[in-house]
Amino acid sequence: MEPKYKRVLLKISGEALAGNKKTGLDDEMLISVAKEVKGLLEIGVQVAVVVGGGNFWRGRTSKSMDRATADYMGMLATVINSLALQDAFEAQGIPTRVQTAIEMREIAEPYIRRRAMSHLAKNIVVIFAAGTGNPFFSTDTTAALRAAEIEADIILLAKKVDAVYDCDPETNSNAKRFDTLTHKDLLDKGLGVMDSTAASLCMDNHIPIHVFGLSEKNNVIKAVYGEKIGTIIK
């Protein structure tokens, strides 16, 4: 069986990387993500990654701080996660480059679209760190933007929850689970799976999104074979 996609953008929320701890990094989770990414490369899929920072810091959660400053702190949190992922990937023998939207040349390449495309074509994994480089945006928007820029076939949205629901399934046992949705549904129903900026960008650029839980093994591979896990938005 052939994978459905040639080039994917894997978006991993920061929280998913914390495993059961909710904050910080879980070594087993890092190793498990690395193994799944290795599996993708082995079947010929090119992989770009955007990682969130919510396991360390989210700009919008600060009540007292200047929002732009708090957001820059959030972007730095994504760099910590990106370096942790690069380390885990390289331990599995996966060639990996981190590119940051805020320059920090001592630890990573700056984001250069054409260079990222060239890495991907050589089956090198590229991790896009520091979000879009702008406050007031999210890493979901980063995923939508970078997916459009690198012409990814789909965004694989790996989360702590296993699908899109109409409300939080952790606090509401009657939460309704969706198998498929349109981008417009996300906006009209105000579903919290991604913010409206990210959803609009995906809708306008016809980028499908597959939402699934990261904690179940092989979900990333299942998603590229088009298996019916989680929720598909197209």
Binding site for ligand UDP (CB under 6 A): 13-15, 52-54, 58-60, 71, 74-75, 77-78, 131-132, 134-135, 137-142
Closest to ligand UDP by CB, 30 or 41: 30
Closest to ligand UDP by CB, 71 or 153: 71
Instruction: Give buried/exposed letters for 151-166 (b at 16+ CB in 10 A, else e).
Output: ebbbbbbbbbbbbbbe
For the bound state, the minimum distance from the C-beta of residue 52 to ligand UDP, rounded and expressed in Å, comes to: 2
Closest to ligand UDP by CB, 44 or 136: 136
For the bound state, the minimum distance from the C-beta of residue 77 to ligand UDP, rounded and expressed in Å, comes to: 6
Closest to ligand UDP by CB, 137 or 212: 137
For the bound state, the minimum distance from the C-beta of residue 217 to ligand UDP, rounded and expressed in Å, comes to: 21
The residue with its CB nearest to ligand UDP is 52
For the bound state, the minimum distance from the C-beta of residue 67 to ligand UDP, rounded and expressed in Å, comes to: 8
Closest to ligand UDP by CB, 36 or 71: 71
For the bound state, the minimum distance from the C-beta of residue 170 to ligand UDP, rounded and expressed in Å, comes to: 15
